[in-house]
Amino acid sequence: MIGDCRADKTEGWAYFVSNYVPLVRRLLAHYAASEAAMLERILVSLRASLFSSLDPMPERPFVAALRQRVLAQLEARPAEIPLDLETVATALAPLTLVEKQAAWFETMSYDAARTGAMLRISRETVEAIRRRAAEQIRGAVDTWSAPMLRENGRALGRAAAEAAPSGLDAQCVPVRTILDVLDGRATWLGREQMERHVTSCWHCIDHFCRMMEVVELLRASQPLPAEEAAPFRKLLGVEEARRPLWKRWTGA
């Protein structure tokens, strides 16, 4: 699809409309409570620039890249009390990897129930982790409020995505390794090696959580029916695919 869209082929863009407009809608509903006008504006922007710099890749990394492009176009309200990534990293250093992920999903606006489902732990466990995380952050800042992580979520996400690894173990975990872990294909040794790095790397914690989100989005997504896809195809200037001549002659 990526190659077809870069070549501006109808088939590629028709596939994008049917299969990925629903994902864009879900992202906007979660992160921005969007209106139809916002969806249309973002789709037009994606039509103009999304595939200009993307090489062919598997579906889940593509959806992760699509997510980043969509969120980059959303306006973020300044948090009442700013919170930077360095402070979060220092405050939450004593937490385990799963605990850090449970806290990080709060920056992504996921409640305890949905976070628990993605991490395969209970809602009550997530709530307990988040209370501990809140206390850790409270002890590290001069001014604190309960929704600090969520209100600073967009800025923290950008900072983590842009963070460069440092130190002796400076090689971040590739997406293929993350997906092997999520799909249950990783060996115990491979998982332990991955966790040693990820536990102290907020770039990778963020990446890991984004890929879990992508898996959840794809699991819940259904292609648009033809009648729902038609207005979006028109918006993006995607021509309706014509039936083969023999089908038009026979009425098939």
Of 194, 175, 187, nearest to 68 by C-alpha is: 175
pLDDT in tens, 143-176: 999 999 999 999 999 999 998 665 445 578 899 9
Mean of the per-residue pLDDT values of the chain: 90
Helix ranges restricted to H, the chain:
2-6, 10-31, 36-49, 59-72, 85-91, 97-107, 112-119, 123-138, 148-151, 153-162, 175-182, 188-198, 202-220, 226-235, 245-250
pLDDT in tens, 82-132: 999 999 999 999 999 999 999 999 999 999 999 999 999 999 999 999 999
Residue 154: both structure tokens together: 């967009």
Query: Is 203:157 a contact under the CB 8 Å cutoff?
Result: no
Specify the DSSP class assigned to residue 52.
G
Domain ranges of the chain: 2-76+222-239, 85-219
Of 155, 132, 134, 156, nearest to 145 by C-alpha is: 134
pLDDT in tens, 38-52: 999 999 999 998 888
Q: Mean pLDDT, to the nearest integer, of 185-212? A: 91
- pLDDT reported for residue 246: 47
Q: Mean pLDDT, to the nearest integer, of 227-241? A: 88
Query: Is 102:130 a contact under the CB 8 Å cutoff?
Result: yes
Residue 241 pLDDT > 60, yes or no?
no
Residue 116: both structure tokens together: 């628990």
More confident of the two residues 18 and 248: 18
Q: Over the range 116-135, which residues count as b (16 or more CB within 10 Å of their CB) and which as e?
A: bebbebeeebbbebbebbbe
